Amino acid sequence: MLQDPDAAADLRVAVGQAIRRAREAAGLSMRALARASEMSQPFLSQVEKGETSPSLSSLYRLAHALGLPPSQLMPPVSAPRGVTVLRRGEGRELPVSDAPGTASGRLLSGGAGHLLEVVEYHVEPGADLGGWFESDGEMTVYVIDGEVEVTLEHEGSWRLGAGEAISHPADIRHRWARVGDGAARILLSVAHAHPAVAPVGPA
């Protein structure tokens, strides 16, 4: 799916502003946040200015360093009490990692003010799925098509096929790997313990 260029630019700006506001609210310098989230300060500066978009992997590292759920750094798909219908080809897309040929995730529900975050992932053969992730709340991974291996740190690994799912606390570090020869489609649902609060303050 090709995202509308104007919508993509608006998303970059909104995410950058949310990160900057959260960083300032935490009393962190840009250098300190870059170090804590294992990224370069120039890259973080570009993200905060809305010049580039962070991958989901980078967004999770930033949120973890700030002590926030990742969804707090994303604008909501809809108003918290609103009704939203997404048609085929709609929704916000982010790359999973910063590596070339990475998989992509489409945000179906979630963002600031929401308890539930739902992301659909398309994983082509050879696509990168990033490293370790962790968040708050509880999560369920449901495989729509293909096969994936889900690894939970210190817990084990499970191979899942179409129609199978795994649920676990989101604060257990976890990672996925595509297995088999074909593409995979995965639905991730995360129920956060508390709704993400939209950062406030001047843009």
| pLDDT value, residue 68 | 80
Among residues 137, 144, 141, 126, the alpha carbon closest in space to that of 176 is found at 141
| pLDDT value, residue 6 | 67
Superfamily of domain 92-191: Jelly Rolls (2.60.120.10)
Query: Which range among 37-46, 130-139, 160-169 shows the weakest confidence by mean pLDDT?
Result: 130-139
Q: Is the pTM of this model over 0.75?
A: no
As a whole number of angstroms, the distance between CA 113 and CA 45 comes to: 26
Query: Which range among 15-19, 143-147, 155-159 shows the weakest confidence by mean pLDDT?
Result: 15-19
Domain ranges of the chain: 5-73, 92-191
Name the token pair of 70.
């990742």
Name the token pair of 140.
């369920």
Domain 5-73 has CATH 1.10.260.40: yes
Q: Which residue has the higher pLDDT, 121 or 112?
A: 121
